[in-house]
Amino acid sequence: MTIIAIANQKGGVGKTTIAFNLAKLLAARRHKVLAIDNDPQGNLTTSLLEDQAILAANVLDAYEEKQVNPQLIAKNLWLIGADISLARVAEGDFEIIFRLRESLTTISTDFDFVIIDCLPSFGYMHMAALNAADYVLIPVKVAPYALRGMKDLFSTIEKAKKRLNPDLRNLGIVLNQVDGRKPIMERELEAVLREAYGELVFKAKLNKRVKVEESPAFQKSIIEYEPKGLSAKEFKAFGKELMQRIKENGAQSE
């Protein structure tokens, strides 16, 4: 079971959209996929369920050391969702950091991939995801304010590796919601990012388009919603590069 935490403490960079589309893409490729909504806003949950009221598996139960049975929502795709009640986890004690990982160990043979959509802030739930994950995937919006927190994020990841999860690895940085309306600024910022982080930055980029923003409202990935569109093509390229990185990382660790 490969666990990927999609994390960035900056909001509005498209973590949930990537988590949603990645889970759908992997399931369509016949992998058994578990999507975990680790954000009290519950946006991944509402993207995967037409009615949040039918949520039958809540990640809050994992944090409260209760049995969680993932909810089957489509072929090869299961969900452990979230709602606003998850916010009370932030008021718990330090032990909460270990409970998500402990819960996942009980189902480790049931899935090929687990995709964790993280909340846009630091805290116990964020650290719990990093403690549970094999990899961190970092979506970044190519804008000045979105790049400023990168050092803090990498510092947090290093602390998680040192103190909690020595096997945690950076899967990479994906440029998301590339707008195109300020091409010179975006190219300059992209160049800065690639110079600073080198091969950690994915070659594939994901552009901002209306169809990408619309598709979760219909519980459809961009590949399902507009299969012949440019965004579907971009996401397939991103998925291919992601799988190659996982394969290479696995080979290096053997």
Considering only CA atoms, which of 5, 39, 42 is closest in space to residue 22?
5
Tokens at residue 172, please? 């990479």
pLDDT for the residue numbered 30: 95
How much is the average pLDDT of 71-84? 95
Confidence of residue 251 (pLDDT cuts 50, 70, 90): very low
d(CA 79, CA 9): 23
Residues of the chain with pLDDT > 90, as a percent, come to 70
* Interval 177-204 mean pLDDT: 87
Among candidate residues 40, 32, 49, 167, the one with its CA nearest the CA of residue 107: 32
pLDDT at residue 200 above 80? yes
Residues 93-140 have pLDDT tens digits of: 888 999 999 999 988 888 999 999 998 877 899 999 999 999 999 999
78: which strand partners?
A: 34, 72
Higher pLDDT, 180 or 55: 55
Q: 73-78: long-range contacts (C-beta < 8 A, 24 or more apart)?
A: 73/48, 73/49, 74/24, 74/27, 75/27, 76/27, 76/28, 76/30, 76/31, 76/32, 76/33, 77/23, 77/24, 77/27, 77/33, 77/35, 77/48, 78/32, 78/33, 78/34, 78/35, 78/111
Please write the tens of the pLDDT for every residue from 41-55: 999 999 999 877 789
Decide if 48 contacts 20 (C-beta within 8 A).
Answer: yes
User: Nearest Cα to 142, choosing from 111, 108, 184, 101?
Assistant: 184
Residue whose structure tokens are 């507009």: 226
pLDDT of residue 146: 66
What is the average per-residue pLDDT within 71-75? 95
Residues 129 and 65: their CA atoms lie apart, in Å, by 15
- Determine the average pLDDT of the residues in 131-153: 85
Q: What is the pLDDT of residue 19?
A: 96
Q: 170 falls in which pLDDT band (50, 70, 90)?
A: very high
CB atoms within 10 A of CB 248: 10
Q: How many domains does the chain have?
A: 1
Task: Find residue 170's DSSP bridge partners.
Answer: 136
What CATH number does the domain containing 32 carry?
3.40.50.300
* Region 19-23 average pLDDT: 96
Domain limits at 195? 2-253
More confident residue, 9 or 55: 55
> Residue 211 has which token pair?
């169809």
